[in-house]
Amino acid sequence: MKKLGLCLAAGVATIAATALGAMSITGAGATFPYPIYSKWFAEYHKLHPDVEINYQPIGSGGGIKNVTDGTVEFGASDGPMSEQQLKEYKEKHGFEILHFPTVLGAVVPTYNLPGVNAELNFTPEALAGIYLGKITQWNDAAIAKANPGVKLPAADIVVVHRSDGSGTTYCWTDYLSKVSPEWKQKVGTNTSVNWPAGLGGAKNDGVAGLIKQTPNSIGYVELIYAIQNKLPYGKVKNEAGNFVKADLASVTAAAAGAAAHMPADFRVSITNAPGKNAYPISTFTWLLVPSQIKDPAKLKTVKDFLVWMLGPGQKMAENLDYAELPAPVVAQEKKALAKIQ
Amino acid sequence: MKAWSRKNIVNYTMFGITGACAIFSVGVLIFILGYLVYKGGSSLSLSFFTQLPAPIGETGGGMANAIVGSAKVLLLASAIGIPIGFVGGIYLSEYSQKSVAFLIRYTTDLLNGVPSIVIGIVVYGLVVHPMGHYSTFAGGVALGIMMIPISVRSTEEFLLAVPMSLREAGLALGAPKWKVIATVVIPAALRGIISGTMLDIARVAGETAPLLFTALGNQFWSSGWNEPTATLPVMIYNYAIGPYEDWHRQAWAAGFVLLTLVLLINVTARLALSKGTYVPRG
Amino acid sequence: MSSVPLAGKGALPSGRARAFYRRLRAGEELAYTIAATAAASILVITALIVIELYSQSALSRSKFGWSFLGTSVWDPVAGTFGALPFIYGTVITSIFALLIAIPLGLGSAIFLSEMAPARISNALTFLIELLAAVPSVVYGLLGIFVLVPFLRETLVPGLIKPALGSLPVFHGPFYGVSVFTAGLVLSIMIVPFIISVSREVLLAVARDQREASLALGASKWQTVWRVVLPNAFTGIVGSIFLALARALGETMAVTMVIGNTPQIKASLLAPGYTIAAVIANEFGEASGDLYRSALIQLGLVLFGVTFVINGMARILILTTRKGAHA
């Protein structure tokens, strides 16, 4: 008995002592930028081995909720917080929460159509119709018209959406609300909506996984998830009438207009942006940082990380198919860093 | 006795059907084990046990932090659940009166029936939210609460099985009651209690839902008890629903490790019990 | 206080105080206090859980009241929350799981208790009880990667659709993830509970009942069917309730294969959602007090239902088991 007790105590001591001394900052939120964030935090850790920034991708809704609850130290979301949510945060904490854009990304319609290798073109009407549950067959005229020469199967469309609270959903529904009055009235824009049709997958990778495994499915994911999983994704018709494929150039084009007129709190929507090469389902993604951080060491680290992110961090974005922030935005953000105290 | 009478035909047929049911049930277990060995065993490598998870999309990496994280959470859960359950079981079998005993047993059953996800959200409200962060501690509390009812029931059952004569002998020698319990009754029931405890640990080792909102997750090592931590079951869940082949491979390996551990504990505990001893139902 | 009759000692009229002091010195009172504290803490913890569930769901309860259970809309944007699709999903998957697990489990239990020789029976029972130890997330793993593709590519198009496709319960497209798949996984998860409890209950039926029947010339099966089963009936029903309670609360394996879609469809092949699954998916991010409160209210509903079912199971099993085990 005594020996057991000693072993137990020794075990507890060694286990509890792992990695003592490292500063750990916990954040949670969007899965949309998770690939670049996990790369950034891993690289930052290599540069500063005593800093561990633990980021958990639980969905934008989770990021907003947890940072408001105070259970994580920063959040991340690709759907900007609403006025109501900002007010709630201020009421709970007494100070404001700040949005800091990190990268630009695209939400793409990705699909799994056995036998169809071509890149499909999607009109806004087609996407809205599919997600409203009104267009139910792949060979429906609304889709076929935009894809002459492609043999679409007479199969049921399996619609996939997010089952968790998602900024990717926010961007997608924001776009659909802009292009379809019926969608706007029936469903609306939010991180979590009452979907008229479809299966739910958890997080971006859950949706990608579901599409991969389900023939005749369509879903929406952040660009990098489609690329990394070798899923085909379609072109979307933009406001200027062109079918544009999501890539760095088209996403950057979408942000061009916003960059010049960026509001002070950085909350802006760039879906269905004007511009002949603009990709219509693009979005900024934000880190949600409290404007007051009590611990001076953590305050310094957070600011330091944000500066690094706006500098060397931006260079890593391209490799993972996210677009860098436009220069005016970077400059404006660097100034805004002073707001964190 | 005519061999082909209707009675005998029915008898042999039902023997066959019921036997088939039993064989099928066992077959499922063997299939599960076999498949996990096949898929998981081939994905196991030294790096699985020693490395941290790699950034998303990059292959390689392992679940070293999840294994340690699970161990820490289980350790804490045992430290909470076992003492309360064990001593509570002693109270039920040695000290309590009928009406109080009924209340406590009823409450223990109630606690046992709470779905694990509900325990998770309650501990979020009671521990994580007031503390202001996710932590190994919260995860340990959640699993510890789940351990209590089984520990109580198993302790009580095995203590009750000790014959009254042993107790009376001790008391007749003038020993105080607690001494009789500690030196006579408990040692007599010890093997059963330890087996019950092992089964208890094995049961919560595989729980995922309560950890989702308490321990959260961590790509790095989690130090101390106050930080979020990766745990094996949660990693399996996250990796399994993701789209990366490498993640799936690791999920199989982790599933294999988890299942092996759980089954090993179960087999050891059950074998340790002598034949005919009652194993409380989970 | 202490229930042990200290053989007349301490019964001295003026000696109650003296007796107390003696017990205190002997360490009795301390031991009792520790034991009672542990038992009390169980009460406290359980009370905390119930209070937390009740109080945190207050917002949603006051807004929706009992109609929460009957509303089938779950709309976080509009702030309308109804539990019906989840209650439906939870009940349907569990009942379907029982429909498979009961015959399978009872058949196995009968074989193990009545038909098989003791050594084989013990060995097989040992293995089957190990099935109950397999973690839920491992079942989910096998569900996603083995069962779903098998159903989607082989079983449903090859067997179910041709044979039963005209029935409303097997109507409509099948994506692999569905209520049907979840029910199948659940059935395997609950079968060990039915088997082990039923087996014990069957074994507990008095030997002389069996022997009387056999002496009258009945076959083993006839004995089982006409004598043993009726005697063990209550206990077997108890085991079914136990299995049901387990199925209702199951989270991980279900959410991985059910499709996570809050809808009420007649077809088993359609995707669905259960209470446990929606809490697991949405609690982490339910921002807004009403949303979170509604999810906790769902948790309260689930807790209430499993409590009732578990209670019934305990009563049924205990009345059959009394005095029956060594």
Q: What are the residue ranges spanned by the domains of chain C?
A: 60-325
pLDDT on residue B1: 52
Q: Do A71 and B57 touch (CB under 8 A)?
A: no
Instruction: Tell me how far apart the alpha carbons of residues C228 and C218 are, in angstroms, rounded to a whole number.
Output: 12
Nearest to C285 among A59, A199, A213 (CB): A59
Taking the Cβ of residue B228 and every Cβ of chain A, the question of whether any pair is shorter than 8 Å is answered with yes
Tokens of A208: 């990608």
Min Cα distance B53 → chain C (Å) is 19
For residue A137, the cross-strand partners are A156
CB contact under 8 A, B259 and C135: yes
Burial label for B213, CB within 10 Å (0-12, 13-18, 19+), is: buried
Q: Say whether residue C283 is in contact with chain A using an 8 A CB cutoff.
A: no
**Quick count: other Cβ atoms within 10 Å of Cβ B268?**
13
Beta carbons within 8 Å of C290's beta carbon, 6+ residues apart: C59, C60, C63, C79, C81
In this prediction, residue B116 carries a pLDDT of 92
Of A16, A35, A71, the CB nearest to B133: A71
Nearest-Cα distance to chain A for B242, in Å, is 5
Tokens describing residue A158: 């399996």
Distances (CA, A) of A286 to A306, C185, C217, C291: 12, 40, 81, 23
pLDDT of residue C20: 76
C78 contacts A194? CB cut-off 8 A: yes
Give the 3-state secondary structure of residue B61: strand
Q: Which domains does chain B have, with CATH numbers?
A: 46-52+60-272 (1.10.3720.10)
The arithmetic mean of pLDDT across residues C197-214, rounded, is: 86
pLDDT score, position A17: 47
C169 near B CB under 8 A: no
Nearest C-alpha in B relative to C314: B109
Q: Residue A184's pLDDT band (boundaries 50, 70, 90)?
A: very high
Q: Is B56 on the interface with A (CB under 8 A)?
A: yes
pLDDT-based confidence at residue B110 (cuts at 50, 70, 90):
confident
Which of A19, A42, A205 lies nearest to residue B241, judging by beta carbons?
A205
| pLDDT, mean over chain A | 88
Query: Which residues of C are less than 8 Å from A214 in CB distance?
Result: 152, 175-177
Q: How many beta-carbon contacts under 8 Å exist across B and C?
A: 283
Contact C73 A194 (CB under 8 A): yes
Mean pLDDT for the stretch of residues C87-112:
94
The reported pLDDT for the residue numbered B76 is 95
DSSP bridge pairs for A77: A286
Q: How far apart are CA A136 and CA A309, in angstroms?
A: 44
CB contact under 8 A, C176 and A213: yes
The answer, for C129 touching chain A at a CB cutoff of 8 Å, is no
Tally Cβ neighbours within 10 Å of residue C280: 28
Which DSSP letter does residue B122 get?
Answer: H
pLDDT for the residue A7: 53
The pLDDT score that the predictor gives to residue C282 is: 85
Question: Does the C60-325 domain belong in CATH 1.10.3720.10?
Answer: yes
> Closest chain C residue to B86 measured between Cα atoms?
C38
CA–CA distance, A104 with A33 (Å, rounded to integer): 9
C126 interaction partners in chain B (CB closer than 8 Å): 270
C-beta separation of A56 from B216 below 8 A: yes
Q: What is the pLDDT of residue C260?
A: 87
Asked if pLDDT for residue B190 goes beyond 90, the answer is no
Nearest CB among C152, C175, C287 relative to A68 is that of C287
Rounded Cα–Cα distance for residues B81 and B265 (Å): 18
Give C-chain residues touching A66 at CB under 8 angstroms.
Answer: 284-285
Mean pLDDT of B240-258: 87
Q: What does the pLDDT read at residue A120?
A: 93
Whether C116 shows a pLDDT value over 50: the answer reads yes
Residue of chain A whose Cα is closest to the Cα of B224: A16
Look at C78 and A213 and tell me if their CB atoms are within 8 Å. no
CB contact under 8 A, A209 and B128: no
Neighbouring chains to A with at least 3 Cβ pairs closer than 8 Å: B, C
pTM of the model: 0.85
Cβ-defined contact of A62 to C73 (cutoff 8 Å)? no
Chain A residues inside the 8 Å CB shell of C292: 65
Q: Is pLDDT above 70 for B277?
A: no
Q: Which chain C residue has the Cα nearest residue B174?
A: C6
Taken as a whole, chain B contains a residue count of 282
Q: Which chains touch B (3+ CB pairs under 8 A)?
A: A, C
Does residue C324 have a pLDDT over 60? no
pLDDT for res A166: 82
Closest-CA residue of chain C to B88: C39
Q: Please write the tens of the pLDDT for every residue from A294-309.
A: 889 999 999 999 999 9
Query: A9-13, A320-324, C170-174: lowest mean pLDDT where?
Result: A9-13
Task: Give the mutation candidate from A34, A45, A71 for the B interface (greatest B CB count, under 10 A).
Answer: A71
Distance from C309 to chain B by nearest Cα, in Å? 9
* H or E segment to which residue A161 belongs: strand A158-162
Half-sphere exposure of residue B132: CA atoms within 13 angstroms, side-chain side: 6
B190 touches chain A (CB under 8 A): no
Contact B273, C175 (CB under 8 A): no
**B175 vs A235, residue with greater confidence:** A235
Question: Mean pLDDT throughout B101-127?
Answer: 91
Length of chain A: 341
Find the mean pLDDT for residues C148-176.
84
The reply to whether residue B57 touches residue A55, judged by beta carbons under 8 angstroms, is no
Name subunits touching C (3+ CB pairs < 8 A).
A, B
Among A62, A188, A198, select the one facing C284 at the smallest CB separation. A62
- Interface membership of C319 toward B (CB under 8 Å): no
Q: Please give the distance of CA A94 from its chain centroid, rounded to a whole number.
A: 28
Per DSSP, what are the bridge partners of residue A100?
A: A287
pLDDT of residue B259: 92
pLDDT in tens, A44-57: 999 999 999 999 98
pLDDT band, very low/low/confident/very high, at C13 (cuts 50, 70, 90):
low
Among C39, C56, C145, the residue with its CB nearest the CB of B125 is C56
Q: How far apart are CA B120 and CA B215, in angstroms?
A: 10
Identify which of C136, C191, C284 has the shortest CB distance to residue B212: C284
Which residue type, as a one-letter code, is found at position B91?
Y
Q: How many CA atoms lie within 13 A of C286 on its CB side?
A: 23
CA distance A211 to chain C (A): 10
Put simply, the chain C residues between 246 and 265 with a CB less than 8 A from any chain A CB are 255, 259-261
Average the pLDDT over B188-199 and give the result: 88
- Is the Cβ pair A41, B219 closer than 8 Å? yes
Interface-testing mutation among C46, C281, C282, C322, with chain B (most B C-beta atoms within 10 A): C46
Model confidence at B282: pLDDT above 60 = no
Average pLDDT over residues A63-71: 90
Q: Are the C-beta atoms of B204 and B229 separated by less than 8 Å? A: no
pLDDT digits (tens, 9 = 90+) for C283-323: 877 777 888 899 999 999 999 988 888 888 888 877 765 54
Q: Does C286 reach chain A within 8 Å, measured CB to CB?
A: yes
* B115 CB within 8 Å of a chain A CB: no
Whether residue B118 has pLDDT greater than 90: yes
pLDDT at C323: 40
| Position A18 confidence tier, pLDDT thresholds 50, 70, 90 | very low
Check B208 against C137: CB less than 8 A apart: yes
For residue A19, what pLDDT is reported? 45
Asked if C148 is an interface residue toward chain A (Cβ–Cβ < 8 A), one would say yes
> In the prediction, which pLDDT does A86 show?
92
**Does the CA dihedral A75-A79-B240-C188 come out positive or negative?**
positive
Distance CA(B28)–CA(A336), nearest Å, equals 60
For residue A25, the chain B residue with the least C-alpha distance is B227
- pLDDT, residue B2, reads 59
Instruction: Give the pLDDT band of residue A14 (cuts 50, 70, 90).
Output: low
| Closest-CA residue of chain A to B136 | A16
Question: Which residues on neighbouring strands pair with residue A290, listed in sequence order?
Answer: A97
Residue C48 has pLDDT above 50, yes or no: yes
Site of tokens 């898929």: B39
